[in-house]
Amino acid sequence: MEKTHLSASSEKSAVSSLVKMVKRCVPDSVKLASKARLRPGGRIGLNLPDRIFLEQVSIPWFAEQEETRSVLDVGTDWYTWKYEVLFPGMEYQSIDFDAAKAKFASPNHVVGSILELDQYFEENRFDLIICNGVFGWGVDDCADIETAVSQFFRVLRPGGYLVIGWNDNDDHRPEGFEKTDVKGFERFVLPPIESDHFNSAGSNRHQFRFYRSVKSASVSSQHETIL
């Protein structure tokens, strides 16, 4: 009896290892495609806990605020196609440095890098920046993250909001982020969750943090020397 039990258990463990091995061979794009769902507004969205939080909790709160009328959304992909419908009444602008992603982008789209936002947008241009899944997906080390943060600071108006989302997993953890001072910003408590961060329950270990610019209305392009 004992022998049969052991054999069944080792067989189970062999199958489980095999399943894990096969899963590792499946490209991220195929894994994501299996999570595609039709969403209101004719969008195709991702049925993942972090995406549901972003689209159904955090973005709607910002979209409801009178003071939040313009948004810069960083990074586009098939699952952010038509994302502008999530921001009714707001001016929606997207940016991605990969020209191939422009086909998923909004009508207001720039092919360019967040490390050079000053090349495309004037100071204080936006009320809100959403930088989700970009740190760890191309902007990874401290130096680049610091540059991106200073560019966000520049193009956000005083008191503007910044949402940063990233995957806290071995494949995409932006090691530079925790070591980077998010200079010019303070953490912001998002009212619907009464917290300045959200750690999603999904296996991708997606995290969000919310910030607000502490730039004073009188700070001009000299902000780097003032802060």
Which chain residues interact with ligand SAM by CB under 6 A? 74-77, 80, 95-98, 101, 113-115, 132-134, 137-139
* Closest separation in Å from C-beta 13 to ligand SAM: 33
Task: Give which of 161, 156, 151, 158 is closest to 217, Cα–Cα.
Answer: 158
**Run of H or E residues at 36:** strand 36-39
* Closest separation in Å from C-beta 12 to ligand SAM: 35
* Three-class SS state of 110: strand
Is the CB of 74 or the CB of 219 nearer to ligand SAM? 74
CA 168 to CA 94: how far, in whole Å?
A: 24
CA 104 to CA 66: how far, in whole Å?
A: 28
**Closest CB to ligand SAM: residue number:** 138
Q: Which residues contact 177 (CB under 8 A, 6 or more apart)?
A: 135, 136, 145, 164, 166
Is the CB of 61 or the CB of 137 nearer to ligand SAM? 137
Is the CB of 51 or the CB of 215 nearer to ligand SAM? 51
* Closest separation in Å from C-beta 67 to ligand SAM: 23
* Closest separation in Å from C-beta 165 to ligand SAM: 7
Number of residues that make up the chain: 227
Is the CB of 59 or the CB of 219 nearer to ligand SAM? 59
